[in-house]
Structure 1
Amino acid sequence: MTSRPLRKLGFLTIGLFERDDPRAGHESTLEIIQLGEQLGFDSAWVRNRHLQYGISSPVAVLAAATQRTSKIELGTAVIPLGWENPLRLAEDLATVDILSGGRLNPGLSVGPPMNFDTVKEALYPDTAEAEDFSYARVERLLGFIRGDQASDFSGKQGVVEEFSERVEPHAPGLIDRMWYGGASLRSAQWAGAHGMNFLTSSVVKAEEADDFAEIQLSHIRAFRAHHPRGDQARVSQGLVVIPTDSATAEQRAKYQAYVEKRTPRTREPQGPARMLFSRDYVGRSAEIADQLLAHAAFREVDEVAFALPFSFDHPDYVQILTDIATHLKPLLAQG
């Protein structure tokens, strides 16, 4: 079976930082995004972590990135909407999209915030039990991004105040660049039916099988089957890919130890939700290319956002991104 030639190459970073020196980690993330543009990557994506030592405000970080780059697309993978007010988030996303010249690709997810019982009094002290964490929260956001009415008042008020009935600024085209990050068959179907793009990562819910590639393939096909654009609907796959072509011996040992530590969780579904993790791909680019081209789900996509490992150092990310761009990309572009 043939693979779709790779059309868009991206990467994803968590943007770790030190508790007592957070600026250095954020600066490193911005430098990595700049490097990605210089290397010819099509997109750079940032994760979202709340009350952790990773990017907690991806929209703010990407706002800074818009001023340091000019071509690379900038995405979030993903913003958990349980932490957000859809109207306010729509304003932020539209603002950053305007600043970027139309390069923003917001990725979203729904559900209660992680560890909700421990944070709900801080996050929603008066409304925790009434908050709706369903897909309806995404639909509200999409409506605001689209330009639907947000207020029943518009026009002048007083001497200088002028109000709009919709979220401002309005970012034309942003609605077509909204992504849903899903790990289940239901989320894939919902994203397709609502005309969104689909982010599928290195974690899926094992509902009908125990083979990662088979499960991910079923999600991609279900998404496209429900999408108005069918087979042309956009899907981006995010696996952990670590080429070692130019790595030092020390780096190769470090990478291998990282992969070996994570491998046991890939052998069977984990926990009551039966979450299944993909294997990490480490080795020379030629070896990784062969493995990816044999991956049933990879063959169905023409966009990827390879995930950088969480805990590596800045020089490691430079080496990995450089090898992906110069060694792995040409092999995958051939399909």
Structure 2
Amino acid sequence: MPSSAQPLAKLGFLTIGLFDEQDPARGHESTLEVIELGERLGFDSAWVRHRHLQYGISSPVAVLAAASQRTSRIELGTAVIPLGWENPLRLAEDLATVDVLSGGRLNPGVSVGPPMHYDQVKDVLYPDTADTEDFSHARVRRLLDHVRGERATGFRGAEGFEVFSDRVQPHSPGLGGRMWYGGASLRSARWAGENGMNFLTSSVVKAEGPPAGTEHEAGVVHDFAAIQLSHIQAFRAHHPDGARARVSQGLVVVPTDSASPGQRAKYEEFARARLPRTATPQGPAGLLFAPDLVGTSAQIAEQLHAHAAFQEIDEVAFALPFTFEHDDYVQILTDIATRLGPALGWRPKS
């Protein structure tokens, strides 16, 4: 079992890929340049978020297809594709195609649940089936079956000059073992483990009850690290690989070693503005956010080594803040690869 005394094995990063409505090409190009930089710096993986009807990447599979042709080694992931917007069979075809094009480097991360603002989008997204769509884990199960090569139809063979397969094509044999589930609850963690997926845990968890010994006079103190640790343990307890099952942690981490004074001030204000949401669970779902880690690589490494959930994993995909500039991302990624990663025992890949 990984511990804080053991080296970090895999270092990745996550970007949302924001763009200007009047110049979307520039934003997408910036994302691709950041991924190329990640490969040059030796990162193990680069991940992109998924946003619909917003000014962020709406088609991560297409972006990663482009990235696959501009890189040769770095793994490419999605964190995450919300399956409520997708047809599992069609998505399986797209994922397998990009995996083939990338030489087996794709790491698709997915989640389930109704699309965000479903009442506003359901009539255009599912005009005939909005009230009958299944947004449960069964939707992930359908995707997994297609990706893993299960039969999709009852027919295969020739029809005239055309030849048909009874499973999704192309089939990429290793892709099924690189499917990730993005979960923030114990239920999701258990399900991901039971279905043999890898587990993505981020800077958001569901506060489903206080860990033992975390009450004080004013009420319940919710410990993010303890809750996240419980999810990791539940996932591995239900996974066939047990303690070897893959988990990646995605905290927001901003090293300032080579930052300019202006960048440091901006980063510190970013974290300060977001800090109040970390004090108590937010919204009807009771979501608890982790504090952003801003400081020198030595300071961040010390905080991570003391983090109960970090002590249980040996893979990370540190999330880049959403609203920074391209030059900020270059500085942050360079510091992560050259200073923070080595402080965590990681070594860059060549």
What band does the TM-score fall into relative to the shorter chain? over 0.9
Alpha-carbon contact 1:203-1:278 (below 8 Å) kept? yes
Q: Which residue of 1 aligns with 2:296?
A: 284
**Alpha-carbon distance in structure 1 between the residues aligned to 2:90 and 2:344:** 39
Say whether residues 1:266 and 2:309 are aligned partners.
no
Unaligned runs of 5+ in 2: 211-221
C-alpha contact (below 8 Å) 2:110/2:181 kept by paired residues: yes
Q: Single out whichever of 20-29 and 1-10 deviates more from structure 2.
A: 1-10
Q: TM (normalized to structure 1)?
A: 0.99
Equivalent residue letter for 1:274: G
Q: Secondary structure at the match of 1:147?
A: coil
| RMSD of equivalent CA atoms | 1.0
Give the 4+ runs in structure 1 shifted more than 3 A.
1-4
CA contact (8 A) 2:156 2:163 kept: yes
**1:150-201 C-alpha deviation (Å, 9 max, x unpaired):** 111111111x211100000000110000000000000000000110000000
CA contact (8 A) 2:180 2:200 kept: yes
Structure 1 segments unaligned to the other structure (5+ residues): none
Deviates more, 1:167-176 or 1:1-10: 1-10
Give the superposition deviation at 1:295: 0.3
Residue 196 (structure 2) aligns with:
195
Percent identity over the alignment is: 74
Is residue 3–residue 300 contact of structure 1 (8 Å, CA) maintained in 2? no
Tell me the residue number matched to 1:185: 186
1:334 Cα deviation from its structure 2 partner: 6.8
Shift in Å, 1:144: 0.4
CA distance in 2, matches of 1:100, 1:84: 22
Query: When the two structures are superposed, what TM-score results if normalisation uses the length of structure 2?
Result: 0.94
Q: Deviations over 1:193-243 (max 9, x none)?
A: 110000000000001221100000000000000000000000000000000
Report the CA distance between 1:2 and its aligned residue: 4.0
Aligned residue number for residue 157 of structure 1:
159
Q: Secondary structure at the match of 2:344?
A: helix
The whole-number CA distance in structure 2 between the counterparts of 1:206 and 1:34 is 37
- The 1-side partners of 2:125 and 2:84 are apart by 10
Q: Classify the secondary structure of the residue corresponding to 2:93.
A: helix
Partners of 1:87 and 1:194 lie apart in 2 by 18
Alignment of structure 1 residues 214-229 onto 2, 5 Å? 214-229=226-241
State the secondary structure of the residue aligned to 1:19: coil
2:44 paired residue number: 42
Deviation per CA, 1:110-153: give whole Å up to 9, x if none.
00000000000010000000100000000000000011111111
Of the three residues 322, 326, 334, the one matched with 2:338 is 326
- 2:16·2:322 contact (CA, 8 Å) conserved in 1? yes
CA contact (8 A) 2:18 2:27 kept: yes
SS of equivalent residue, structure 1 residue 333: coil
